Amino acid sequence: MSESSEVVAESVAERFQQLYGGAPDGVWAAPGRVNLIGEHTDYNDGFVMPFALPHTVVAAVSRRTDGVLRLHSADVDGPVVELAVDALAPESDKNWTAYPSGVVWALREAGHAVTGADIHLASTVPSGAGLSSSAALEVVVALAMNDLFGLGLRGWQLARLCQRAENVYVGAPVGIMDQTASACCEAGHALFLDTRDLSQRQIPFDLAAEGMRLLVVDTRVKHSHSEGEYGKRRAGCEKGAALLGVDALRDVPFADLDAALARLGDEEEVRRLVRHVVTEDERVERVVSLLEAGDTRAIGPVLVEGHASLRDDFRISCPELDLVVDTALTAGALGARMTGGGFGGSAIVLAEEADVLAVTKAVEEAFAQAGFKAPRVFEAVPSAGARRMR
């Protein structure tokens, strides 16, 4: 655990005490995530491969037994929000408080006796940057409730409940990847997750030991208007599966892709979506094989292929993301791709340690030249999943 998260835990606990007039029962942390490869596969029952960031949502929490839920975030102006747990209702709340309330709602819906809590949290996960601050926020609350109410739920079970909170309570149609990543990732590893049966495997991904670095470039283009586009892609994938007579696009084998595309005839839009999803699942499997064989540098070109597929077939990139990828590759990066939902958010760049400064500088200069907002560049060290800190 890094010293900085210890410092955050201390200040979150202190603020909790000021707000609620007593020390918290405990402090928990849950990380944001970056998806290494496997984009827009999670709602097609496919494969994803996220890893956890060192950036976390840290929550100080105390248990209550009187049905009251009190919420406060250091990152949002405003007083403590007080709610009654038995009055929580899906899509009744359009504010940030819908995420933690949704988790309490989902736990109670599933029959768990969660009788209230006082929560104060603070986050170092950039919000709306495609790094899943929303899942980190849900998972930290779920884990705290799990511990404080002795629910005995496993990481993947908490992830499912958090997904339900976001789907039904918040009203955002997200897949299972983000919550599982935040709940289940391990330091120095990426998580190979089969989103159909939720089976998972920790894949060694310790770049520093091999003289490489992975950079996240937050374009600072907000992806908040992307919901409609996301819905369209999702509907298009479902249409593709229906036309091909499979439960989900995951069931189209890579070896049969050409035949499947031929069967889709003049459904050009659907063909492009299908091609992305089927090739992306294959890319995840290829990255897993390469990493397990210790051939880490060879994943670079696979990341680049993934970006081209998202840009040209899935059509969810944007000029800022494309500029990061093109500039980083020209400056000597091993690979780069957009990550997350698209239409902004962040890109990842894999580079030799010796090239990190040059790549960073090149991207910053290219953004300045293009008249884009200055990007935020930071190193992403594969870090631990959700945990209790004190």
Q: Does 219 bind ligand ADP (CB under 6 A)?
A: no
**Whose Cβ is closer to Mg ion: residue 128's or residue 332's?**
128
33-65 as b/e: b if 16+ CB within 10 A: bbbbbbbbbbbbbbbbbbbbbbbbbbbbbbbbe
From 62, 73, 163, 327, residue interacting with ligand ADP (rule: CB under 6 A): 73
Which region, judged by CB under 6 A, interacts with ligand ADP, from 59-67, 69-77, 107-115, 189-197?
Answer: 69-77
Q: Are 73 and 96 in contact (CB under 8 A)?
A: yes
Shortest Cβ 343–ligand ADP spacing (Å): 11
From 68, 76, 187, 298, residue interacting with ligand ADP (rule: CB under 6 A): 76
Give the separation between CA 300 and CA 302, rounded to whole angstroms.
5
Q: Does 19 bind ligand ADP (CB under 6 A)?
A: no
Shortest Cβ 226–ligand ADP spacing (Å): 9
From 6, 14, 90, 128, residue interacting with ligand ADP (rule: CB under 6 A): 128
Question: Pairing mode, if any, of strands 335-339 and 346-352?
Answer: antiparallel
Is residue 129 marked as binding? Answer: yes
Shortest Cβ 163–Mg ion spacing (Å): 11
Shortest Cβ 200–ligand ADP spacing (Å): 21
**Whose Cβ is closer to Mg ion: residue 53's or residue 212's?**
53
What radius of gyration do the chain's Cα atoms show? 21
From the candidates 178, 218, 281, 355, which is the catalytic residue? 178
Q: Mask of contacts with ligand ADP, 95-124, x by CB under 6 A? A: -x--x-----------------------x-
Token pair recorded at residue 295:
């051939």
Question: How many of the chain's residues bind ligand ADP (CB under 6 A)?
Answer: 16
Is residue 128 marked as binding? Answer: yes
Is residue 11 marked as binding? Answer: no
Is residue 240 marked as binding? Answer: no
Shortest Cβ 224–ligand ADP spacing (Å): 6
Q: State yes or no: is 178 an active-site residue.
A: yes
Is residue 130 marked as binding? Answer: yes
Instruction: Look at residue 49 and give its three-state secondary structure.
Output: coil
Instruction: Look at residue 115 and give its three-state secondary structure.
Output: coil
Contacts (Cβ under 8 Å, ≥6 apart) of 336: 303, 304, 307, 324, 325, 328, 329, 347, 348, 349, 350
Half-sphere exposure of 317 (CA within 13 A, CB side): 21
Q: Are 62 and 20 in contact (CB under 8 A)?
A: yes
**Whose Cβ is closer to ligand ADP: residue 96's or residue 205's?**
96
Residue 73 binding partner per list Mg ion, ligand ADP, none, with a CB distance cut-off of 5 to 8 Å that depends on partner kind: ligand ADP
Please name the helix (run of DSSP H) or strand (run of DSSP E) that holds residue 211, with its range, or none: none
Amino acid, res. 86: D
Give the separation between CA 128 and CA 334, rounded to whole angstroms.
27
From 54, 130, 155, 175, residue interacting with ligand ADP (rule: CB under 6 A): 130
Task: Give how far Cα 219 sits from Cα of 274, 311, 374, Å.
Answer: 27, 16, 8
Is residue 40 marked as binding? Answer: yes
Give the separation between CA 115 and CA 365, rounded to whole angstroms.
53
From 35, 101, 134, 195, residue interacting with ligand ADP (rule: CB under 6 A): 134
Which residues are designated catalytic?
178
- Annotated binding residues for Mg(2+), as ranges? 134, 166
Footprint on this chain of ligand ADP (rule: CB under 6 A): 73, 75-76, 96, 99, 123, 127-134, 137, 224
Task: Give the residue ranges of the annotated binding site for ATP.
Answer: 73, 128-134
